[in-house]
């Protein structure tokens, strides 16, 4: 009806189904031809640019629609020198922490028409390098580098080539790099001051391995907030171990084998440790939150909600971090120079384990 090229008329006797209907996608030329105009005119009509009569415009649009035409981003990108893509490169495998970040990031960038390449280097520098090559070849407009745990890493090479890079939930030493991290220390302070406000006097800290910077920062927050609350921070009340429930149980056994001066609150380095601690406390007959109040870290729902009682926990707001990384990257892509290490605030999600008003939690 509208000058369709004859290539989708199936041969007379062939079975009507199962013949791949479109050998390739339609091109602007197909549209122009079918509409009886030049390629340039068709382009202008579709992009609402140039000076064209309303009729011509409408005709082209109609034909384009009937042909299911869709501009070829590859050609557009080539022309504009802007690929409208961004790479996200995870040093180690994607995990529980990178998910919310990536999700929010993708959402933010998608709103600006940018698609993301997902690359997983799994702790293999050679692999990371190949991924980088691939992304540079694809002319990504920017890069987000992330990691499972917020620890210092080696800088990504292309910084030197002027490609915008944001380090999200990971950081490097270069002061010219933009690094986004949760405010671990602030998160810890949130937990401690909450407990102190509830009248707890002796707040111990069971946490993960000290080689994590996050562990050191949270410990610092614990100390600082304690002293601000007029409470003492004793070294023997800070136990560093693994990130597991088992460690939470062991640490509680350690802390509570003393006969006097027992903690009346526990701030745990993550929710798994907290859950282990809760189990161990119940095993030795302490009730929660009456005898011991507990606050965890990560606000990992499956853990926090399943614990009995449900865990009050510090949330790193990783979604906000991801969105912020996306916004910052967009800024950098449009020419702004952003740099420095930014710490984004955590928040406290109150459930029943700390003895505050437990909002009849789910």
Partner DNA sequence: AAGAATTGGGAAAAGCTTTTCTCATATTGG
Partner DNA sequence: CCAATATGAGAAAAGCTTTTCCCAATTCTT
Question: Which stretches of the chain bind DNA, using CB under 7 A?
Answer: 24, 26-29, 36-41, 43-44, 46-47, 49-53, 55-56, 69-72, 75-76, 78-81
CB of 241 closer than 8 Å to CB of 206? yes
Q: Which partner, its own copies, DNA, none, binds residue 106 by CB below 5 to 8 Å per kind?
A: its own copies
300/34 Cα distance (integer angstroms): 57
Those residues whose C-beta lies under 8 Å from the C-beta of residue 282, and which sit 6 or more positions away, are 288
In the complex with its own copies, which residue's Cβ is closer, 138 or 152? 138
Q: How many CB atoms lie within 10 A of CB 113?
A: 8
Residues 19-38 that bind its own copies (CB under 8 A): 20-25
Q: Which partner, its own copies, DNA, none, binds residue 117 by CB below 5 to 8 Å per kind?
A: its own copies
For residue 41, the 8-state DSSP code is H
153/99 Cα distance (integer angstroms): 19
145/169 Cα distance (integer angstroms): 8
Q: Which partner, its own copies, DNA, none, binds residue 47 by CB below 5 to 8 Å per kind?
A: DNA
In the complex with its own copies, which residue's Cβ is closer, 69 or 171? 69
- Judged by CB under 8 A, the stretch of 34-42, 88-96, 324-332, 347-355 that binds its own copies is 88-96
Position 120 contacts its own copies (CB under 8 A): yes
Q: Which partner, DNA, its own copies, none, binds residue 244 by CB below 5 to 8 Å per kind?
A: its own copies
Considering only the C-alpha atoms of the chain, give the largest distance between any 2 of them, rounded to a whole number of Å: 94
- Judged by CB under 8 A, the stretch of 110-118, 221-229, 326-334, 349-357 that binds its own copies is 110-118
Q: Least distance (Å) from its own copies to the CB of residue 357?
A: 21
Q: Which partner, DNA, its own copies, none, binds residue 52 by CB below 5 to 8 Å per kind?
A: DNA
Q: Least distance (Å) from DNA to the CB of residue 225?
A: 54
Would you call 16 helix, strand, or coil by DSSP?
A: coil
Q: Which partner, DNA, its own copies, none, binds residue 152 by CB below 5 to 8 Å per kind?
A: none
User: Which string of x and - marks every residue 273-292 that binds its own copies (by CB under 8 A)?
Assistant: --xx----------------
Structure tokens belonging to residue 97: 């922490």
Q: Which of 3, 99, 129, 334 binds its own copies (CB under 8 A)?
A: 99
Q: Which of 323, 313, 305, 321 is nearest to 347 (CA)?
A: 313
Helix residue ranges per DSSP H, the chain: 28-35, 39-47, 54-66, 73-80, 98-111, 125-137, 184-197, 213-228, 245-255, 271-283, 301-306, 318-333
> What torsion do the CA atoms of 204, 209, 212, 214 make, to the nearest 10 degrees?
-20
CB of 191 closer than 8 Å to CB of 348? yes
Residues 124-183 that bind its own copies (CB under 8 A): 130-131, 133-139, 160-162
Binding stretches for its own copies (CB under 8 A) = 20-25, 68, 70-75, 77-78, 81, 83, 85, 88, 93-95, 99, 102-103, 106-107, 110, 113, 115-120, 122, 130-131, 133-139, 160-162, 244-246, 272, 275-276, 302, 305-306
């Amino acid at each position: 009806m509208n000058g369709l090229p004859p290539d989708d008329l199936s041969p007379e006797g062939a079975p009507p189904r199962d013949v791949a209907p479109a050998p390739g996608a339609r091109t602007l030329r197909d549209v122009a031809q079918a509409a009886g105009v030049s390629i340039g005119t068709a382009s202008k009509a579709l992009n609402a640019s140039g000076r064209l009569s309303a009729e011509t415009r409408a005709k082209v649009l109609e034909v384009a629609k009937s042909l299911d035409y869709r501009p070829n981003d590859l050609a557009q990108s080539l022309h504009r020198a802007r690929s409208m893509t961004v790479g996200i490169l995870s040093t180690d495998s994607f995990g529980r922490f990178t998910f919310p970040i990536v999700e929010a990031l993708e959402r933010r960038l998608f709103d600006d028409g940018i698609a993301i390449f997902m690359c997983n280097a799994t702790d293999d520098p050679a692999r990371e390098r190949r991924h980088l090559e691939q992304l540079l070849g694809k002319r990504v407009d920017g890069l987000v580098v992330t990691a499972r745990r917020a620890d210092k890493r080696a800088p990504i090479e292309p910084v030197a080539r002027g490609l915008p890079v944001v380090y999200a939930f990971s950081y490097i030493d270069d002061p010219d790099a933009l690094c986004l991290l949760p405010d671990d220390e602030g998160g810890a302070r949130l937990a401690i001051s909450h407990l102190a406000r509830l009248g707890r006097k002796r707040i111990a800290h069971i946490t993960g391995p000290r080689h994590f910077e996050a562990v050191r920062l949270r410990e610092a927050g614990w100390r600082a907030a304690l002293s601000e609350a007029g409470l003492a921070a004793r070294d023997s009340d800070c136990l560093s171990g693994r990130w597991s429930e088992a460690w939470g149980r062991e640490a509680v056994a350690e802390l509570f084998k003393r006969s006097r001066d027992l903690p009346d609150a526990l701030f745990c380095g993550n929710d798994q440790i907290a859950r282990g601690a809760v189990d161990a406390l119940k095993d030795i007959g302490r009730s929660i939150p009456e005898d011991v109040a507990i606050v965890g870290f990560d606000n990992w729902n499956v853990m926090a909600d399943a614990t009995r009682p449900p865990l009050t926990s510090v949330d790193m707001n990783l979604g906000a971090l991801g969105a912020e990384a996306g916004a910052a990257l967009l800024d950098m892509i449009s020419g702004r120079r952003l740099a420095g290490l930014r710490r984004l605030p955590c928040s406290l999600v109150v459930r029943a384990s700390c003895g505050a008003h437990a909002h009849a939690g789910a």
